[in-house]
Amino acid sequence: MHPEELVFRGPLAGTTKKVNGVEIPVEGALSRNNFRRVWIPAILEAGLARMVTNPETGRREWWPRVSDYRDRFASRLHEGGMSEVDVQYILGHERGGKVTWLYTHRGEQALDNAREVLASGRHLRAVS
């Protein structure tokens, strides 16, 4: 993505670096190591932040969690018909299966969609 498209840009976004004597652009996305340094102040400044206890781990953590937004973002991309490999690229995952496992959820119209697909196929029909 172009550095101006990123919500959270890394400190070197939009610059170049030399690799084997050739100048290449720095992609600009924040690394996992830098992200919390930006996320926590951003949610505090926006007035959204609150400290909550995670019911699964019992640990205190900041809410909202960026993973909640990533989850919804990935689901919207899938619902919009974007391929798994493209969603994988946008989210920065190395394996597409992880994207499906983590971020895709059953759609509201899953049963209706399955019936429609089965009814439109040759020699197939939906049975209720």
Q: What is the DSSP letter of 5?
A: G
Do the domain assignments include residue 58?
Answer: no
Q: Give the pLDDT confidence of 86-119 residue by residue, as tens digits.
A: 777 777 766 656 666 666 655 666 666 666 655 6
pLDDT attached to residue 113: 63
Look at residue 125 and tell me whether its pLDDT is greater than 60. Answer: no
Phi and psi at residue 30, to the nearest 5°: -65, 140
Give residue for tokens 């959270």.
8
d(CA 125, CA 54): 46
Phi and psi at residue 112, to the nearest 5°: -65, -40
Total-model pTM:
0.52
Do the domain assignments include residue 12?
Answer: no
Do the domain assignments include residue 114?
Answer: yes
d(CA 99, CA 65): 18
Do the domain assignments include residue 7?
Answer: no
d(CA 91, CA 57): 25
d(CA 102, CA 62): 21
Higher pLDDT, 127 or 66: 66
Question: What band does 124 get if pLDDT is binned at 50, 70 and 90?
Answer: very low
pLDDT attached to residue 34: 77
pLDDT attached to residue 65: 86
Q: What is the DSSP letter of 30?
A: P
Q: Give the pLDDT confidence of 5-42 residue by residue, as tens digits.
A: 666 677 777 788 898 999 988 777 777 777 888 889 98
Q: What total number of domains does the chain contain?
A: 1
Q: Give the pLDDT confidence of 33-90 residue by residue, as tens digits.
A: 778 888 899 889 999 899 999 898 999 999 888 878 778 788 788 777 777 777 777 7
**What domain range includes position 69?**
65-128
Helix (H) or strand (E) holding 58: none
pLDDT attached to residue 103: 61
